[in-house]
A and B are shown apart, each in its own frame.
Chain A
Amino acid sequence: MVLKINNVSKNFGGISALTDISFSINKGEIFGLIGPNGAGKTTMFNCITSIFPPSSGEILFLDENITGIKPHKITNKGICRTFQNIRLFSQMSVLENVLVGGHSQSHSGVFSGVFRTKSQRNEEEKLRSTARELLELVGLSEFEDAVAENLAYGQQRRLEIARALASDPKLLLLDEPAAGMNDTETADLYYLIKKVQERGVTTLLIEHDMPLVMRLCDRITVLNFGKKLAEGTPEEIQNNQEVIEAYLGSEGDDDIA
Protein backbone atom coordinates (compact mmCIF):
# COMPACT_ATOMS: atom_id res chain seq x y z
CA MET A 1 0.00 0.00 0.00
CA VAL A 2 1.40 3.36 -1.03
CA LEU A 3 -0.92 5.75 0.75
CA LYS A 4 -3.28 5.15 3.61
CA ILE A 5 -5.65 7.85 4.85
CA ASN A 6 -6.98 7.08 8.33
CA ASN A 7 -10.02 8.98 9.62
CA VAL A 8 -8.80 12.36 8.43
CA SER A 9 -10.87 15.42 9.32
CA LYS A 10 -10.19 19.07 8.64
CA ASN A 11 -12.05 22.08 10.04
CA PHE A 12 -11.68 25.70 9.05
CA GLY A 13 -13.19 27.70 11.88
CA GLY A 14 -16.77 26.43 11.84
CA ILE A 15 -16.68 24.71 8.45
CA SER A 16 -15.69 21.10 8.35
CA ALA A 17 -14.10 20.61 4.97
CA LEU A 18 -13.32 16.94 5.59
CA THR A 19 -15.06 14.59 7.98
CA ASP A 20 -13.54 11.29 8.97
CA ILE A 21 -12.21 10.27 5.57
CA SER A 22 -10.38 6.98 5.07
CA PHE A 23 -9.14 5.28 1.95
CA SER A 24 -6.00 3.63 0.72
CA ILE A 25 -4.18 3.46 -2.55
CA ASN A 26 -2.27 0.45 -3.88
CA LYS A 27 1.03 0.59 -5.66
CA GLY A 28 0.77 1.40 -9.35
CA GLU A 29 -2.89 2.39 -9.18
CA ILE A 30 -4.53 5.40 -10.71
CA PHE A 31 -6.90 6.37 -7.95
CA GLY A 32 -9.66 8.91 -8.56
CA LEU A 33 -10.90 11.47 -6.03
CA ILE A 34 -14.08 13.07 -7.29
CA GLY A 35 -16.96 15.10 -5.97
CA PRO A 36 -18.78 18.37 -6.60
CA ASN A 37 -17.02 21.71 -6.12
CA GLY A 38 -16.28 22.42 -2.47
CA ALA A 39 -16.44 18.73 -1.58
CA GLY A 40 -13.00 18.89 0.05
CA LYS A 41 -10.84 17.27 -2.61
CA THR A 42 -8.18 19.97 -2.72
CA THR A 43 -8.27 20.14 1.06
CA MET A 44 -7.36 16.44 1.09
CA PHE A 45 -4.36 17.18 -1.14
CA ASN A 46 -3.35 20.02 1.13
CA CYS A 47 -3.47 17.70 4.14
CA ILE A 48 -1.43 15.02 2.38
CA THR A 49 1.21 17.52 1.29
CA SER A 50 1.12 19.28 4.65
CA ILE A 51 0.18 22.71 3.31
CA PHE A 52 -1.75 22.48 6.56
CA PRO A 53 -2.07 19.52 8.94
CA PRO A 54 -5.38 17.67 9.27
CA SER A 55 -7.41 18.53 12.38
CA SER A 56 -7.43 14.84 13.26
CA GLY A 57 -6.59 11.51 11.72
CA GLU A 58 -3.38 10.26 10.20
CA ILE A 59 -1.76 9.86 6.84
CA LEU A 60 0.58 6.94 6.16
CA PHE A 61 2.90 6.87 3.20
CA LEU A 62 4.61 3.50 2.60
CA ASP A 63 3.63 2.57 6.17
CA GLU A 64 5.27 5.66 7.60
CA ASN A 65 3.25 8.26 9.45
CA ILE A 66 3.77 11.54 7.59
CA THR A 67 0.96 13.52 9.19
CA GLY A 68 1.91 17.17 9.64
CA ILE A 69 5.61 16.93 8.79
CA LYS A 70 7.14 19.82 6.83
CA PRO A 71 5.95 20.05 3.20
CA HIS A 72 9.42 19.80 1.70
CA LYS A 73 10.05 16.60 3.64
CA ILE A 74 6.92 15.10 2.13
CA THR A 75 8.33 15.80 -1.31
CA ASN A 76 11.65 14.29 -0.32
CA LYS A 77 9.85 11.14 0.77
CA GLY A 78 8.33 10.77 -2.67
CA ILE A 79 5.01 12.61 -2.92
CA CYS A 80 4.65 15.50 -5.34
CA ARG A 81 1.65 17.41 -6.56
CA THR A 82 0.23 19.84 -9.07
CA PHE A 83 -2.05 22.72 -8.14
CA GLN A 84 -5.64 23.33 -9.19
CA ASN A 85 -4.93 27.02 -9.68
CA ILE A 86 -1.66 26.68 -11.57
CA ARG A 87 1.35 27.71 -9.48
CA LEU A 88 4.31 27.68 -11.78
CA PHE A 89 7.34 29.87 -11.18
CA SER A 90 5.88 32.22 -13.68
CA GLN A 91 8.92 34.29 -14.63
CA MET A 92 11.25 31.33 -14.96
CA SER A 93 11.79 29.47 -18.21
CA VAL A 94 10.04 26.19 -18.82
CA LEU A 95 13.27 24.25 -18.34
CA GLU A 96 14.10 26.07 -15.12
CA ASN A 97 10.72 25.18 -13.69
CA VAL A 98 11.49 21.52 -14.21
CA LEU A 99 14.99 21.98 -12.79
CA VAL A 100 13.48 23.42 -9.61
CA GLY A 101 11.24 20.37 -9.58
CA GLY A 102 14.45 18.33 -9.43
CA HIS A 103 15.59 20.11 -6.29
CA SER A 104 15.03 17.10 -4.07
CA GLN A 105 16.99 14.93 -6.51
CA SER A 106 20.12 17.05 -6.17
CA HIS A 107 22.34 18.14 -3.35
CA SER A 108 24.86 20.78 -4.35
CA GLY A 109 25.24 23.71 -1.98
CA VAL A 110 26.67 27.21 -2.14
CA PHE A 111 30.30 26.34 -2.60
CA SER A 112 30.00 23.46 -5.02
CA GLY A 113 27.53 25.60 -6.98
CA VAL A 114 29.84 28.59 -7.15
CA PHE A 115 33.06 26.72 -7.80
CA ARG A 116 31.40 24.16 -10.06
CA THR A 117 33.00 21.09 -8.64
CA LYS A 118 33.06 17.96 -10.73
CA SER A 119 30.21 16.33 -8.84
CA GLN A 120 28.16 19.51 -9.12
CA ARG A 121 28.65 19.59 -12.89
CA ASN A 122 27.66 15.95 -13.19
CA GLU A 123 24.62 16.50 -11.05
CA GLU A 124 23.58 19.57 -13.07
CA GLU A 125 24.11 17.61 -16.29
CA LYS A 126 21.90 14.82 -15.02
CA LEU A 127 19.20 17.24 -13.82
CA ARG A 128 19.12 18.86 -17.24
CA SER A 129 18.89 15.65 -19.17
CA THR A 130 16.13 14.36 -16.89
CA ALA A 131 14.32 17.67 -17.25
CA ARG A 132 14.56 17.53 -21.04
CA GLU A 133 13.34 13.96 -21.04
CA LEU A 134 10.32 14.98 -18.94
CA LEU A 135 9.58 17.93 -21.21
CA GLU A 136 9.66 15.45 -24.08
CA LEU A 137 7.22 13.25 -22.18
CA VAL A 138 4.71 16.06 -21.66
CA GLY A 139 5.29 17.40 -25.16
CA LEU A 140 6.91 20.71 -24.30
CA SER A 141 10.43 20.15 -25.65
CA GLU A 142 10.22 22.92 -28.19
CA PHE A 143 9.25 25.43 -25.48
CA GLU A 144 12.07 24.80 -23.03
CA ASP A 145 13.34 28.37 -23.31
CA ALA A 146 9.93 30.05 -23.17
CA VAL A 147 8.94 31.95 -20.06
CA ALA A 148 6.43 29.85 -18.15
CA GLU A 149 3.73 32.49 -17.88
CA ASN A 150 3.66 32.88 -21.66
CA LEU A 151 2.58 29.28 -22.23
CA ALA A 152 -1.00 28.42 -23.12
CA TYR A 153 -3.17 27.19 -20.30
CA GLY A 154 -3.07 23.51 -21.22
CA GLN A 155 0.70 23.69 -21.66
CA GLN A 156 1.07 25.21 -18.21
CA ARG A 157 -0.86 22.28 -16.75
CA ARG A 158 1.44 19.83 -18.49
CA LEU A 159 4.48 21.77 -17.33
CA GLU A 160 3.23 21.40 -13.75
CA ILE A 161 3.10 17.66 -14.27
CA ALA A 162 6.65 17.59 -15.65
CA ARG A 163 7.84 19.73 -12.73
CA ALA A 164 6.24 17.36 -10.24
CA LEU A 165 7.68 14.30 -12.00
CA ALA A 166 11.15 15.84 -11.78
CA SER A 167 11.11 15.11 -8.04
CA ASP A 168 10.88 11.42 -9.02
CA PRO A 169 7.77 10.82 -6.94
CA LYS A 170 6.41 7.44 -5.98
CA LEU A 171 3.01 9.06 -5.58
CA LEU A 172 1.82 11.83 -7.89
CA LEU A 173 -1.11 14.03 -6.90
CA LEU A 174 -2.88 15.73 -9.81
CA ASP A 175 -5.45 18.41 -9.00
CA GLU A 176 -7.81 18.86 -11.95
CA PRO A 177 -5.17 18.47 -14.65
CA ALA A 178 -7.73 18.63 -17.47
CA ALA A 179 -9.34 21.88 -16.31
CA GLY A 180 -9.21 24.40 -19.14
CA MET A 181 -7.97 21.87 -21.68
CA ASN A 182 -9.65 21.31 -25.04
CA ASP A 183 -10.65 17.85 -26.29
CA THR A 184 -7.39 17.04 -28.05
CA GLU A 185 -5.38 18.14 -25.06
CA THR A 186 -7.55 16.04 -22.77
CA ALA A 187 -7.05 13.06 -25.03
CA ASP A 188 -3.29 13.60 -24.87
CA LEU A 189 -3.54 13.91 -21.11
CA TYR A 190 -5.03 10.42 -20.96
CA TYR A 191 -1.95 8.96 -22.63
CA LEU A 192 0.35 11.08 -20.52
CA ILE A 193 -1.12 9.80 -17.27
CA LYS A 194 -1.00 6.25 -18.63
CA LYS A 195 2.66 6.71 -19.49
CA VAL A 196 3.32 7.99 -16.00
CA GLN A 197 1.69 4.84 -14.69
CA GLU A 198 4.00 2.75 -16.86
CA ARG A 199 6.95 4.45 -15.19
CA GLY A 200 5.77 2.85 -11.94
CA VAL A 201 4.32 6.01 -10.44
CA THR A 202 1.12 5.74 -8.42
CA THR A 203 -1.35 8.52 -9.17
CA LEU A 204 -4.07 10.17 -7.10
CA LEU A 205 -6.25 12.12 -9.50
CA ILE A 206 -8.77 14.86 -8.80
CA GLU A 207 -10.77 15.53 -11.94
CA HIS A 208 -14.14 16.80 -13.07
CA ASP A 209 -13.94 15.35 -16.57
CA MET A 210 -15.91 12.18 -15.88
CA PRO A 211 -15.22 10.28 -19.11
CA LEU A 212 -11.50 10.78 -18.47
CA VAL A 213 -11.79 9.68 -14.84
CA MET A 214 -13.82 6.63 -15.73
CA ARG A 215 -11.38 5.52 -18.40
CA LEU A 216 -8.25 6.17 -16.38
CA CYS A 217 -8.97 5.16 -12.84
CA ASP A 218 -8.68 1.75 -11.28
CA ARG A 219 -10.67 2.81 -8.27
CA ILE A 220 -12.48 5.97 -7.23
CA THR A 221 -13.51 7.64 -3.98
CA VAL A 222 -16.36 10.12 -4.06
CA LEU A 223 -16.53 13.02 -1.61
CA ASN A 224 -19.54 15.21 -0.96
CA PHE A 225 -19.66 18.04 1.59
CA GLY A 226 -16.48 16.70 3.14
CA LYS A 227 -17.87 13.22 3.66
CA LYS A 228 -17.01 10.04 1.86
CA LEU A 229 -19.97 9.07 -0.26
CA ALA A 230 -18.75 5.97 -2.03
CA GLU A 231 -15.74 4.03 -3.14
CA GLY A 232 -15.33 1.49 -5.89
CA THR A 233 -14.45 0.73 -9.47
CA PRO A 234 -15.61 3.17 -12.15
CA GLU A 235 -18.55 0.92 -12.93
CA GLU A 236 -19.68 0.69 -9.33
CA ILE A 237 -19.43 4.45 -8.97
CA GLN A 238 -21.35 5.13 -12.16
CA ASN A 239 -24.17 2.93 -10.93
CA ASN A 240 -24.22 4.21 -7.37
CA GLN A 241 -27.54 5.92 -6.68
CA GLU A 242 -26.21 8.26 -4.01
CA VAL A 243 -23.42 9.42 -6.25
CA ILE A 244 -25.76 10.13 -9.12
CA GLU A 245 -27.99 12.15 -6.83
CA ALA A 246 -25.10 14.13 -5.41
CA TYR A 247 -24.04 15.06 -8.91
CA LEU A 248 -27.54 15.85 -10.11
CA GLY A 249 -27.98 18.05 -7.09
CA SER A 250 -24.94 20.15 -7.95
CA GLU A 251 -24.24 22.36 -10.93
CA GLY A 252 -24.40 20.86 -14.38
CA ASP A 253 -20.72 20.95 -15.24
CA ASP A 254 -19.94 17.92 -13.16
CA ASP A 255 -22.02 15.46 -15.16
CA ILE A 256 -21.14 11.96 -14.32
CA ALA A 257 -20.80 9.49 -17.21
Chain B
Amino acid sequence: MLGDLINPYYLQVGSFIMINIILGLSIYITLSSGQLSLGSAGFMGIGAYTSALLTINYDLPIIVGVIAGALVAGIIGILIGIPSLRLTGVYLAIATLGFGEVMRVFLVNWESVTKGSVGLSGIPQIGRELLKFSRDSGFSPMSIGLKNNQFVYLMVLLILVIINILLIWFLIRQNKSRVGRAFAAIKMDEKAAEAMGINITYYKVLSFAQGAILSGFAGALFAHVMGYISPADFSYHRAVDILIYAVFGGSEVIWGSIFGAAFMTLLPEVLRFISEYRYLIYGLVLVLMMAFRPQGIIDVPLLQKLHLTKRRSKHGSKN
Protein backbone atom coordinates (compact mmCIF):
# COMPACT_ATOMS: atom_id res chain seq x y z
CA MET B 1 0.00 0.00 0.00
CA LEU B 2 2.30 2.77 1.23
CA GLY B 3 5.06 1.08 -0.71
CA ASP B 4 3.21 1.38 -3.98
CA LEU B 5 2.73 5.09 -3.57
CA ILE B 6 6.35 5.92 -2.99
CA ASN B 7 8.60 6.29 -5.98
CA PRO B 8 12.25 6.65 -4.92
CA TYR B 9 12.95 8.83 -7.92
CA TYR B 10 10.41 11.42 -6.84
CA LEU B 11 11.74 11.27 -3.32
CA GLN B 12 15.21 12.01 -4.58
CA VAL B 13 14.03 14.95 -6.66
CA GLY B 14 12.30 16.13 -3.49
CA SER B 15 15.59 15.92 -1.61
CA PHE B 16 17.38 17.95 -4.26
CA ILE B 17 14.64 20.55 -4.04
CA MET B 18 15.22 20.79 -0.29
CA ILE B 19 18.98 21.19 -0.69
CA ASN B 20 18.52 23.78 -3.42
CA ILE B 21 16.08 25.68 -1.22
CA ILE B 22 18.84 25.99 1.38
CA LEU B 23 21.08 27.37 -1.36
CA GLY B 24 18.29 29.75 -2.34
CA LEU B 25 18.04 30.87 1.29
CA SER B 26 21.78 31.44 1.33
CA ILE B 27 21.67 33.90 -1.54
CA TYR B 28 18.49 35.46 -0.18
CA ILE B 29 20.02 36.21 3.19
CA THR B 30 23.06 37.90 1.62
CA LEU B 31 20.84 39.88 -0.74
CA SER B 32 18.66 40.95 2.17
CA SER B 33 21.44 43.31 3.22
CA GLY B 34 21.92 44.43 -0.38
CA GLN B 35 24.93 42.30 -1.25
CA LEU B 36 25.29 40.05 -4.26
CA SER B 37 27.50 37.04 -3.67
CA LEU B 38 28.47 34.85 -6.58
CA GLY B 39 30.50 32.64 -4.28
CA SER B 40 27.71 30.33 -3.10
CA ALA B 41 29.05 27.48 -5.21
CA GLY B 42 32.50 27.92 -3.70
CA PHE B 43 31.15 27.89 -0.14
CA MET B 44 29.02 24.91 -1.03
CA GLY B 45 32.20 23.15 -2.18
CA ILE B 46 33.99 24.00 1.04
CA GLY B 47 31.15 22.57 3.09
CA ALA B 48 30.92 19.45 0.96
CA TYR B 49 34.64 18.67 0.91
CA THR B 50 35.16 19.49 4.58
CA SER B 51 32.39 17.20 5.69
CA ALA B 52 33.24 14.44 3.21
CA LEU B 53 36.91 14.41 4.17
CA LEU B 54 36.20 14.47 7.91
CA THR B 55 33.75 11.59 7.68
CA ILE B 56 35.86 9.52 5.26
CA ASN B 57 39.28 10.05 6.80
CA TYR B 58 38.43 10.37 10.47
CA ASP B 59 35.23 8.35 10.72
CA LEU B 60 33.41 11.24 12.32
CA PRO B 61 29.62 11.02 12.45
CA ILE B 62 27.87 12.72 9.54
CA ILE B 63 26.26 15.29 11.79
CA VAL B 64 29.66 16.45 13.07
CA GLY B 65 30.98 16.65 9.53
CA VAL B 66 28.00 18.70 8.34
CA ILE B 67 28.31 21.18 11.19
CA ALA B 68 32.05 21.48 10.63
CA GLY B 69 31.47 22.02 6.91
CA ALA B 70 29.03 24.85 7.58
CA LEU B 71 31.35 26.48 10.11
CA VAL B 72 34.46 26.31 7.92
CA ALA B 73 32.46 27.86 5.08
CA GLY B 74 31.30 30.60 7.45
CA ILE B 75 34.83 31.37 8.65
CA ILE B 76 36.14 31.59 5.10
CA GLY B 77 33.11 33.73 4.29
CA ILE B 78 34.14 36.21 6.96
CA LEU B 79 37.71 36.26 5.64
CA ILE B 80 36.51 36.94 2.08
CA GLY B 81 33.77 39.33 3.12
CA ILE B 82 35.74 41.78 5.24
CA PRO B 83 38.16 43.04 2.57
CA SER B 84 35.48 43.13 -0.15
CA LEU B 85 33.09 45.10 2.02
CA ARG B 86 35.43 48.02 2.12
CA LEU B 87 34.22 48.86 -1.35
CA THR B 88 31.02 48.96 -3.35
CA GLY B 89 28.78 46.01 -4.12
CA VAL B 90 30.30 45.36 -7.51
CA TYR B 91 33.63 44.42 -5.94
CA LEU B 92 31.96 41.89 -3.71
CA ALA B 93 30.35 40.22 -6.70
CA ILE B 94 33.68 40.00 -8.52
CA ALA B 95 35.68 38.94 -5.49
CA THR B 96 33.19 36.18 -4.68
CA LEU B 97 33.08 35.03 -8.27
CA GLY B 98 36.87 34.91 -8.29
CA PHE B 99 36.86 33.13 -4.97
CA GLY B 100 34.61 30.44 -6.46
CA GLU B 101 37.09 29.92 -9.27
CA VAL B 102 40.05 29.78 -6.89
CA MET B 103 38.20 27.16 -4.86
CA ARG B 104 37.66 25.09 -7.96
CA VAL B 105 41.32 25.41 -8.94
CA PHE B 106 42.40 24.28 -5.49
CA LEU B 107 40.01 21.34 -5.47
CA VAL B 108 41.32 20.19 -8.83
CA ASN B 109 44.98 20.65 -7.98
CA TRP B 110 45.24 19.53 -4.38
CA GLU B 111 45.11 15.94 -5.56
CA SER B 112 46.64 14.27 -2.54
CA VAL B 113 43.64 15.32 -0.48
CA THR B 114 40.78 16.01 -2.88
CA LYS B 115 41.55 13.35 -5.54
CA GLY B 116 41.58 16.16 -8.12
CA SER B 117 38.95 16.42 -10.80
CA VAL B 118 37.88 12.80 -10.27
CA GLY B 119 36.43 13.82 -6.94
CA LEU B 120 35.63 11.93 -3.77
CA SER B 121 33.50 8.83 -3.66
CA GLY B 122 32.43 6.52 -0.88
CA ILE B 123 31.21 9.40 1.24
CA PRO B 124 28.99 8.09 4.06
CA GLN B 125 25.38 8.56 3.00
CA ILE B 126 22.69 9.78 5.34
CA GLY B 127 20.19 7.21 4.04
CA ARG B 128 22.46 4.19 4.48
CA GLU B 129 23.49 5.27 7.96
CA LEU B 130 19.86 5.61 8.92
CA LEU B 131 19.05 2.19 7.56
CA LYS B 132 21.93 0.70 9.51
CA PHE B 133 20.82 2.50 12.62
CA SER B 134 17.23 1.34 12.33
CA ARG B 135 18.34 -2.25 11.70
CA ASP B 136 20.57 -2.13 14.72
CA SER B 137 17.70 -0.93 16.82
CA GLY B 138 15.57 -3.77 15.56
CA PHE B 139 13.29 -1.88 13.21
CA SER B 140 12.63 -3.20 9.73
CA PRO B 141 11.23 -1.00 6.96
CA MET B 142 9.23 -4.03 5.83
CA SER B 143 7.11 -3.73 8.92
CA ILE B 144 5.57 -0.55 7.52
CA GLY B 145 5.41 -1.96 4.05
CA LEU B 146 8.46 -0.24 2.58
CA LYS B 147 11.36 -1.59 0.59
CA ASN B 148 14.77 -0.65 1.89
CA ASN B 149 15.50 1.97 -0.75
CA GLN B 150 12.06 3.51 -0.36
CA PHE B 151 12.65 3.78 3.34
CA VAL B 152 16.08 5.33 2.80
CA TYR B 153 14.90 8.00 0.39
CA LEU B 154 11.84 8.74 2.47
CA MET B 155 13.87 9.25 5.62
CA VAL B 156 16.37 11.50 3.85
CA LEU B 157 13.57 13.62 2.45
CA LEU B 158 11.88 13.85 5.84
CA ILE B 159 15.07 14.97 7.53
CA LEU B 160 15.69 17.60 4.87
CA VAL B 161 12.12 18.87 5.12
CA ILE B 162 12.50 19.28 8.88
CA ILE B 163 15.81 21.09 8.42
CA ASN B 164 14.22 23.41 5.88
CA ILE B 165 11.29 24.22 8.10
CA LEU B 166 13.65 25.09 10.94
CA LEU B 167 15.83 27.25 8.72
CA ILE B 168 12.90 29.13 7.24
CA TRP B 169 11.46 29.68 10.70
CA PHE B 170 14.83 30.96 11.87
CA LEU B 171 15.19 33.40 8.99
CA ILE B 172 11.63 34.71 9.23
CA ARG B 173 12.08 35.32 12.94
CA GLN B 174 15.39 37.04 12.28
CA ASN B 175 13.79 39.24 9.61
CA LYS B 176 11.25 40.49 12.09
CA SER B 177 13.88 41.34 14.66
CA ARG B 178 16.32 44.19 15.11
CA VAL B 179 18.91 42.35 13.02
CA GLY B 180 16.49 41.91 10.12
CA ARG B 181 15.55 45.58 10.25
CA ALA B 182 19.22 46.51 10.13
CA PHE B 183 19.73 44.29 7.05
CA ALA B 184 16.74 45.84 5.31
CA ALA B 185 17.84 49.37 6.19
CA ILE B 186 21.31 48.75 4.76
CA LYS B 187 19.79 47.33 1.60
CA MET B 188 17.54 50.34 1.10
CA ASP B 189 20.01 53.10 1.96
CA GLU B 190 23.43 52.33 3.34
CA LYS B 191 24.30 55.91 4.26
CA ALA B 192 21.02 56.52 6.03
CA ALA B 193 21.38 53.21 7.87
CA GLU B 194 24.82 54.25 9.06
CA ALA B 195 23.45 57.59 10.18
CA MET B 196 20.88 55.71 12.29
CA GLY B 197 23.68 54.11 14.28
CA ILE B 198 23.85 50.83 12.38
CA ASN B 199 27.35 49.39 12.17
CA ILE B 200 27.08 48.49 8.51
CA THR B 201 30.33 46.56 8.34
CA TYR B 202 29.22 44.29 11.15
CA TYR B 203 25.80 43.59 9.68
CA LYS B 204 27.09 43.12 6.16
CA VAL B 205 29.69 40.63 7.32
CA LEU B 206 27.03 38.95 9.45
CA SER B 207 24.63 38.49 6.55
CA PHE B 208 27.44 37.46 4.22
CA ALA B 209 28.71 34.91 6.73
CA GLN B 210 25.19 33.57 7.28
CA GLY B 211 24.93 33.07 3.53
CA ALA B 212 28.28 31.27 3.47
CA ILE B 213 27.25 29.05 6.39
CA LEU B 214 24.02 28.10 4.65
CA SER B 215 25.85 27.34 1.39
CA GLY B 216 28.42 25.25 3.23
CA PHE B 217 25.65 23.47 5.10
CA ALA B 218 23.79 22.72 1.85
CA GLY B 219 27.05 21.51 0.30
CA ALA B 220 27.72 19.14 3.19
CA LEU B 221 24.19 17.74 2.97
CA PHE B 222 24.64 17.38 -0.78
CA ALA B 223 27.81 15.33 -0.23
CA HIS B 224 26.08 12.98 2.20
CA VAL B 225 23.00 12.59 0.03
CA MET B 226 24.91 11.95 -3.21
CA GLY B 227 27.78 9.91 -1.79
CA TYR B 228 30.24 11.34 -4.32
CA ILE B 229 31.36 14.85 -5.20
CA SER B 230 33.75 16.45 -7.68
CA PRO B 231 34.92 20.00 -8.35
CA ALA B 232 32.50 20.19 -11.29
CA ASP B 233 29.61 20.09 -8.81
CA PHE B 234 30.73 23.47 -7.48
CA SER B 235 31.57 25.32 -10.68
CA TYR B 236 30.47 28.71 -11.88
CA HIS B 237 27.37 27.10 -13.35
CA ARG B 238 26.25 26.12 -9.88
CA ALA B 239 26.67 29.72 -8.78
CA VAL B 240 24.47 30.78 -11.69
CA ASP B 241 21.86 28.16 -10.75
CA ILE B 242 21.74 29.61 -7.27
CA LEU B 243 21.57 33.18 -8.53
CA ILE B 244 18.61 32.20 -10.72
CA TYR B 245 16.68 30.91 -7.69
CA ALA B 246 16.62 34.38 -6.18
CA VAL B 247 16.40 36.44 -9.35
CA PHE B 248 13.62 34.39 -10.89
CA GLY B 249 11.71 33.45 -7.75
CA GLY B 250 12.05 36.83 -6.10
CA SER B 251 14.83 38.37 -4.08
CA GLU B 252 12.81 40.65 -1.81
CA VAL B 253 10.87 38.05 0.10
CA ILE B 254 12.04 34.78 1.54
CA TRP B 255 9.32 32.86 -0.33
CA GLY B 256 10.77 34.11 -3.59
CA SER B 257 14.00 32.16 -3.50
CA ILE B 258 12.21 29.16 -1.99
CA PHE B 259 9.80 29.15 -4.89
CA GLY B 260 12.64 29.81 -7.33
CA ALA B 261 14.70 26.91 -6.02
CA ALA B 262 11.78 24.49 -6.14
CA PHE B 263 10.58 25.61 -9.55
CA MET B 264 14.00 25.65 -11.17
CA THR B 265 14.83 22.20 -9.80
CA LEU B 266 11.57 20.72 -11.01
CA LEU B 267 11.54 22.34 -14.42
CA PRO B 268 14.28 20.26 -16.09
CA GLU B 269 12.83 17.12 -14.48
CA VAL B 270 9.35 17.77 -15.84
CA LEU B 271 10.38 19.10 -19.21
CA ARG B 272 13.24 16.81 -20.16
CA PHE B 273 13.97 18.53 -23.47
CA ILE B 274 14.67 21.72 -21.60
CA SER B 275 17.66 20.25 -19.91
CA GLU B 276 19.80 20.55 -23.02
CA TYR B 277 18.96 24.21 -23.45
CA ARG B 278 18.86 24.89 -19.75
CA TYR B 279 21.56 27.54 -19.56
CA LEU B 280 20.42 29.22 -22.75
CA ILE B 281 17.05 29.62 -21.09
CA TYR B 282 18.61 30.68 -17.78
CA GLY B 283 20.55 33.38 -19.58
CA LEU B 284 17.41 34.74 -21.19
CA VAL B 285 15.53 34.54 -17.90
CA LEU B 286 18.15 36.69 -16.16
CA VAL B 287 18.06 39.36 -18.87
CA LEU B 288 14.27 39.40 -19.12
CA MET B 289 13.69 39.44 -15.38
CA MET B 290 16.00 42.43 -14.96
CA ALA B 291 14.20 44.29 -17.72
CA PHE B 292 10.62 43.48 -16.79
CA ARG B 293 10.40 42.22 -13.23
CA PRO B 294 13.62 42.91 -11.37
CA GLN B 295 12.08 41.94 -8.04
CA GLY B 296 11.35 38.41 -9.32
CA ILE B 297 8.08 36.48 -9.67
CA ILE B 298 7.10 36.63 -6.03
CA ASP B 299 6.99 40.04 -4.38
CA VAL B 300 5.14 41.65 -1.50
CA PRO B 301 2.01 42.69 -3.44
CA LEU B 302 1.68 39.18 -4.88
CA LEU B 303 1.93 37.62 -1.42
CA GLN B 304 -0.73 39.98 -0.17
CA LYS B 305 -2.99 39.03 -3.04
CA LEU B 306 -2.47 35.39 -2.19
CA HIS B 307 -3.07 36.21 1.48
CA LEU B 308 0.11 34.40 2.38
CA THR B 309 1.16 37.20 4.66
CA LYS B 310 -0.90 39.34 6.91
CA ARG B 311 -1.01 42.86 5.65
CA ARG B 312 2.69 43.64 5.67
CA SER B 313 2.24 46.58 7.93
CA LYS B 314 0.96 44.47 10.76
CA HIS B 315 4.21 42.76 11.47
CA GLY B 316 6.66 45.15 10.10
CA SER B 317 9.45 43.59 8.17
CA LYS B 318 8.74 41.70 5.03
CA ASN B 319 9.48 38.04 5.22
Contact = CB atoms under 8 A, between A and B. Distances in A.
In the complex, A touching B (Cβ < 8 A): yes
Interface stretch (A85-93, A189-197, A232-240): A85-93
Contacts of B177: 108, 110, 112-114, 120, 124
B178 A80 contact: no
Given A72-B194, A91-B188, A106-B178, A114 B173 contact: yes
Contact-residue size bin, chain B (C-beta under 8 Å from the other chain): 20 to 34
Contact of B181 (A49, A76, A99, A167): A99
A109 B202 CA distance: 12
B57 to A, nearest CB: 33
A9 interface: no
Interface in B144-189: 170, 173-174, 176-182, 184-185, 188-189
By secondary structure, the B interface counts as helix
B196 A101 contact: yes
B316 A99 contact: yes
Contacts of A95: 313, 316
Interface residues of A, number: 41
Given A49-B195, A103-B197, A104-B196, A89 B188 contact: yes
Nearest to B188: A89
Interface string A94-120: 011001110110101110111110001
A113 B200 contact: no
A165 B192 CA distance: 14
A51 interface: yes
B276 to A, nearest CB: 40
A88 B192 contact: yes
B200 to A, nearest CB: 7
Contacts of A115: 173
A91 B188 CA distance: 8
A81 B182 CA distance: 18
A114 B189 CA distance: 24
B237 interface: no
A20 interface: no
Contact of B185 (A51, A70, A100, A114): A100
A163 interface: yes
Contacts of B195: 49, 51, 71-72, 75, 80-81, 83, 87
Contacts of B176: 113
A104 B196 CA distance: 7
A64 interface: no
A20 B317 CA distance: 45
A242 interface: no
B221 interface: no
Contact of B184 (A87, A92, A113): A92
Chain A CB within 10 A, most for which of B184, B185, B196, B316: B196
Given A89-B188, A113-B174, A100 B313 contact: no
A136 interface: no
A103 B182 CA distance: 8
B188 A104 contact: no
Contact of B170 (A93, A96, A114): A114
B206 A100 contact: no
Contact of B196 (A75, A90, A109, A146): A75
Given A89-B189, A109-B179, A167 B196 contact: yes
Nearest to A77: B197
Nearest to B181: A100
B196 A100 contact: yes
Interface in B190-234: 191-200, 206
B312 interface: yes
Interface in B278-319: 311-314, 316-317
A125 interface: no
B316 A93 contact: yes
A173 to B, nearest CB: 10
Interface of B: 170, 173-174, 176-182, 184-185, 188-189, 191-200, 206, 311-314, 316-317
Kindly list the 7 A-B residue pairs having the minimum CB-CB distance in the complex, ordered from nearest.
A113-B177, A104-B197, A145-B313, A75-B197, A87-B192, A71-B194, A114-B173
15 contacts: A72-B197, A75-B196, A89-B188, A89-B193, A92-B181, A100-B184, A103-B178, A104-B196, A104-B197, A106-B178, A110-B179, A110-B206, A113-B173, A114-B174, A145-B314
